[in-house]
Amino acid sequence: MSPVRPLRNICNIIGLAWWARIETRDSGITYWFGPFLTKNSLHSRLPMFIEDLNLEGSKDIEHMLLRTRKAEPLTI
């Protein structure tokens, strides 16, 4: 197990982890992508996640970067 994973989990529990809330207006689905330790690490991986959504047919995608605590469900 990566030593980063426990730290990432602790940051999520106390609300210091970075998450992206991604909304697809055409299907009305909200995805949560995270947790990440830094905003930069989230920002660098976000384009790949959005591209995957585009390949699945999602359109009109908006996202917001948040520092928060998030648990299941990660798709609404």
Hey, where are the domains in the chain? 4-68
Mean pLDDT of 7-31: 93
3 state SS of 3: coil
Q: Which two tokens stand for residue 31?
A: 């995805």
d(CA 70, CA 63): 16
pLDDT in tens, 28-72: 899 999 999 999 999 999 999 999 999 999 989 999 999 999 987
